[in-house]
Structure 1
Amino acid sequence: MASTLTHRPTTTMAQSTIRPESESKAPASEASARGAAIYSQSWLLVIYDWWVLGIVSTYAWACSVPDYTLPWFRSNVRKGQHLDIGVGTGYYLAKSDLSGVQVTLADLNQDALDATKNRLVAAGKVKAEETTCILHDITRPLPASCPKFNSMSLYYLLHCMPGPVPAKTAIFSHLKHNLTADGVITGASILGKDVHHNLFGRVIMYFGNRGGMFDNRADNSADFDEALREHFHEVDTQVRGAIFLWKASKPKV
């Protein structure tokens, strides 16, 4: 959905606002920071839903959000604690039933966190004082203040992360420890390899990778599937157009 994520301030679960707790000694990678910076532009947050989740997803990736990725998201949000990583504009959460769900938002970009939280509060989906925001680099373990989550989501995030598939999926080695035994982690990502890209899709891929928004030319479903099975006992994956949809449960810890 959005940017890769730098651990600076974090929150306790009793607080809804970001509170400085510690500063990471290692900054986000240049590639991660470049991708995240794009989401600081307010105009992008305004047009993201229409352009990326509407036009591009449907006509470039051949994977309609209302038909595929949104139902996939909704079916994998569990009551209890939910962590959304790489929040974008909060579209998926805003379009889902969040009754009984305690939402935590994690992203590298403060603008995206603010926009998403404000959107959810305005829509009556969450209460501001009960929603936690974490400014965090997801390549590192989550803050110790985080609970175990009943569900996690990473939508349109992995293709933005720098490096080959093993570098991206290394995040599961620590995220699985923050998932409850019966919890589920789910996501969607744009593949660059072993799928058909139409002309529109190839243009988006070219400029996305050249400009630093994407790093997914070598991303393929087989490598993602293998990595997920390394960390989880139950894995369900499918490819719709150029989009890899996945969910995993029963973490191997």
Structure 2
Amino acid sequence: MNAPSKSNTEAGAALYSPAFLRFYDRLVPGLFLPYAWSLLTLVDLNPSCLDAASARVRKAHLHLNCTTVHADFLAPDSLSPSSLGTFDAISAMLLLHCLPGPPSRKAVALVRLRHILRKENGVLFGATILGQGIRHNLFGRFLMWLFNRRGIFDNREDHAKSFVEPLEEAFDEVKWRIVGAMLLFEARGPRE
């Protein structure tokens, strides 16, 4: 009689013994990710943010090669396949509400990311604080007023449909939901 086979979940988890975990950071982030799967490129307009983020990544994963790119998200030629390559996943977490301009300008830049996303299994995901179509609590209203007044945010006019509709035109599959005052989104299947 054959022994019962382990489920896929158990087989995948079995490898992570205490002995293996001592070598994990050197093996997976240090060898596999940069050399086999070409991971971790950080892009930002602010060099200080790039330095801080890459330092955190390197502290957490000592042997990970973290590439940084100084670029403007809103500039049409800033994020191109010729300068960056293509990616399996692109995060636009907590970015859009900080960008200047009307929501339409931000949405154009967001959907432009489809050109650096791999067509098969590529995913663009993110979250942004909305200014319209949601209810901010008292503290949230104060922060919106303060940050918009100082130019840290420019999201008074940002509505979920400002981003969801352009994403739906540019991608085959778009999932989204509002949690509190934030839009969470995921887009797959970039169209030409």
TM-score class normalised by the smaller sequence: 0.7 to 0.9
Task: Return the alpha-carbon distance in structure 1 between the equivalents of residues 84 and 41 of structure 2.
Answer: 9
Q: Tell me which protein shows more helix as a share of its residues.
A: 2
Equivalent of 1:115 in 27, 52, 65: 52
Task: Return the alpha-carbon distance in structure 1 between the equivalents of residues 163 and 112 of structure 2.
Answer: 16
User: Could you tell me the TM-score, scaled by structure 1's length?
Assistant: 0.58
Task: Return the alpha-carbon distance in structure 2 between the equivalents of residues 215 and 239 of structure 1.
Answer: 19
Work out whether 1:148 is the aligned partner of 2:86: yes
8 Å Cα contact 2:100/2:154 also seen in 1: yes
TM-superposed CA distance for 1:145, in Å, is 3.0
TM-superposed CA distance for 1:104, in Å, is 0.3
Task: Return the alpha-carbon distance in structure 2 between the equivalents of residues 229 and 126 of structure 1.
Answer: 38
Task: Return the alpha-carbon distance in structure 2 between the equivalents of residues 171 and 138 of structure 1.
Answer: 7
Residues 125, 215 of structure 1: alpha-carbon distance in 2 compared, 3 angstrom cutoff: farther
Structure with the larger RCO, 1 or 2 (CA within 8 Å, 6+ apart) = 1
Task: Return the alpha-carbon distance in structure 1 between the equivalents of residues 182 and 50 of structure 2.
Answer: 24
Equivalent of 1:124 in 58, 61, 72: 61
Task: Return the alpha-carbon distance in structure 1 between the equivalents of residues 158 and 109 of structure 2.
Answer: 16
Structure 1 residues without counterparts, runs of 5 or longer: 1-96
Task: Return the alpha-carbon distance in structure 2 between the equivalents of residues 214 and 145 of structure 1.
Answer: 28
Task: Return the alpha-carbon distance in structure 1 between the equivalents of residues 154 and 63 of structure 2.
Answer: 33
Rg bigger for which structure? 2
Residues 163, 105 of structure 1: alpha-carbon distance in 2 compared, 3 angstrom cutoff: same
8 Å Cα contact 2:88/2:123 also seen in 1: yes
Please name the residue that 1:228 is paired with.
167
The one-letter amino acid paired with 1:158 is L
Task: Return the alpha-carbon distance in structure 2 between the equivalents of residues 126 and 187 of structure 1.
Answer: 27
Residues 163, 178 of structure 1: alpha-carbon distance in 2 compared, 3 angstrom cutoff: same
TM-superposed CA distance for 1:173, in Å, is 4.2
Equivalent of 1:195 in 134, 141, 150: 134
Please name the residue that 1:139 is paired with.
74
TM-superposed CA distance for 1:113, in Å, is 0.5
TM-superposed CA distance for 1:126, in Å, is 5.4
User: Could you tell me the TM-score, scaled by structure 2's length?
Assistant: 0.76
TM-superposed CA distance for 1:138, in Å, is 1.2
Task: Return the alpha-carbon distance in structure 2 between the equivalents of residues 126 and 104 of structure 1.
Answer: 15
Work out whether 1:159 is the aligned partner of 2:93: no
8 Å Cα contact 1:120/1:126 also seen in 2: no
Task: Return the alpha-carbon distance in structure 1 between the equivalents of residues 89 and 63 of structure 2.
Answer: 16
Work out whether 1:246 is the aligned partner of 2:189: no
The runs of at least 4 consecutive aligned structure 1 residues that moved more than 6 Å come to none
Task: Return the alpha-carbon distance in structure 2 between the equivalents of residues 217 and 242 of structure 1.
Answer: 12
TM-superposed CA distance for 1:122, in Å, is 1.0
Residues 125, 192 of structure 1: alpha-carbon distance in 2 compared, 3 angstrom cutoff: farther
Please name the residue that 1:175 is paired with.
113
TM-superposed CA distance for 1:125, in Å, is 6.3
User: What is the CA RMSD across the aligned residues, in angstroms?
Assistant: 1.7
Structure 2 residues without counterparts, runs of 5 or longer: 1-27
TM-superposed CA distance for 1:174, in Å, is 2.6
